[in-house]
């Protein structure tokens, strides 16, 4: 799966509905692991999405042939839309995409656009994963798929189109930010897919700060 240009295309989709401003680069923007003889390199970009929230994008490249793009879209403004977490992974000609939604809106999200995307890609093979605690927290319209490159990339773009159009029209609720914060702390304490590598990069307490200030900023 060719992940070059994916970030730029996601930005263009969001910019049709919202003003997007990149956060200045800092010590988090580039990373490697291990530090002396790195096997993996990380390129991180962060954005403020006006009237919506915070966007985190990480492009990971490894010497073992794995490439990963992670996108975390946090609706910290209180919009009635779910938290969106996307992983696009290519390794040894196997393309896997996870479009995860976690609804912290007390059931106020309008789901029709998300469900339409789910139906469009219904015949694409599901990717079966271990039963981590957060799997049960996902919305029914999450997309956890493995398929060919064109399907996978188009599915991500369609998902962001659905999210942007839903968010543009959504009302806000002051309680949503608090519910997002509660969910974030659960992901930190109970663990998430990136917990192991971020703890190796930043240490246990540093990983918590990285998650709060970058990946899941409210």
197 pLDDT above the threshold of 90: no
Say if CB 110 and CB 168 are below 8 A apart. Answer: no
Q: What are phi and psi of 131, to 5 degrees?
A: -85, 60
Is the pLDDT reported for residue 198 higher than 90? Answer: no
| 6-33: average pLDDT | 95
Predicted confidence band of residue 20 (pLDDT cuts 50, 70, 90): very high
CB of 116 closer than 8 Å to CB of 68: no
The answer to whether 63 and 71 are in contact (CB under 8 A) is no
Which parts of the chain are beta strand (E)? 20-22, 30-33, 40-49, 53-62, 66-74, 83-91, 94-102, 143-147
Q: Is the pLDDT of residue 65 over 90?
A: no
User: Is pLDDT at 189 greater than 90 in this prediction?
Assistant: yes
User: Is residue 1 predicted with pLDDT exceeding 80?
Assistant: no
**87: helix, coil or strand?**
strand
pLDDT band at 80 (very low <50, low <70, confident <90, very high): very high
Domain boundaries, the chain: 6-215
94 beta partners: 91
Position 149 confidence tier, pLDDT thresholds 50, 70, 90 = confident
3-state helix vs strand vs coil in the chain, percent to 5? 40, 30, 35
For the cut 80, the answer to whether the pLDDT of residue 177 exceeds it is: yes
- Give Cα 151 distance to the centre of its chain: 18
Q: 218: pLDDT confidence band, cut at 50, 70 and 90?
A: very high
Supply the pLDDT for residue 196: 81
Residue 130 has what pLDDT? 79
User: DSSP string of 138-181?
Assistant: S-TT-EEEEE-HHHHHHHHHHHHHHHHHHHHH--B-THHHHHHH
pLDDT above 80 for 67: yes
> 6-215 belongs to which CATH class?
alpha beta
- The pair of three-digit structure tokens given for residue 147, joined into one six-digit string: 């398929």
Q: Which two tokens stand for residue 7?
A: 């970030």
Place 123 in a pLDDT band, splitting at 50, 70 and 90.
very high
pLDDT at 34 over 90: no
């Amino acid at each position: 799966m060719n992940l070059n240009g994916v970030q730029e295309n996601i930005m263009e989709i969001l910019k049709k509905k919202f003003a997007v401003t990149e956060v200045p680069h800092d010590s988090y923007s580039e990373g490697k692991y291990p530090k002396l003889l790195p096997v993996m390199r990380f390129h991180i970009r962060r954005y403020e999405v006006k009237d919506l929230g915070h966007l985190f994008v990480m492009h990971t490249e490894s010497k073992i042939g794995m490439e990963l793009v992670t996108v975390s879209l946090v609706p910290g403004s209180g919009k009635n839309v779910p938290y969106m977490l996307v992983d696009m992974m290519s390794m040894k000609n196997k393309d896997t995409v996870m479009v995860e939604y976690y609804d912290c809106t007390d059931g106020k999200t309008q789901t029709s656009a998300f469900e339409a995307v789910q139906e469009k890609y219904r015949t694409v093979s599901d990717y079966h994963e271990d039963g981590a605690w957060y799997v049960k927290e996902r919305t029914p319209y999450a997309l956890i798929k493995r398929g060919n490159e064109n399907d996978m990339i188009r599915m991500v773009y369609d998902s962001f189109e659905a999210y942007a159009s839903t968010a543009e029209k959504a009302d806000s609720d002051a309680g949503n930010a608090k519910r997002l914060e509660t969910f974030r702390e659960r992901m930190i304490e109970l663990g998430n897919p990136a917990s192991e590598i971020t703890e190796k990069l930043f240490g246990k307490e540093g990983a918590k700060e990285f998650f709060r200030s970058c990946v899941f900023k409210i």
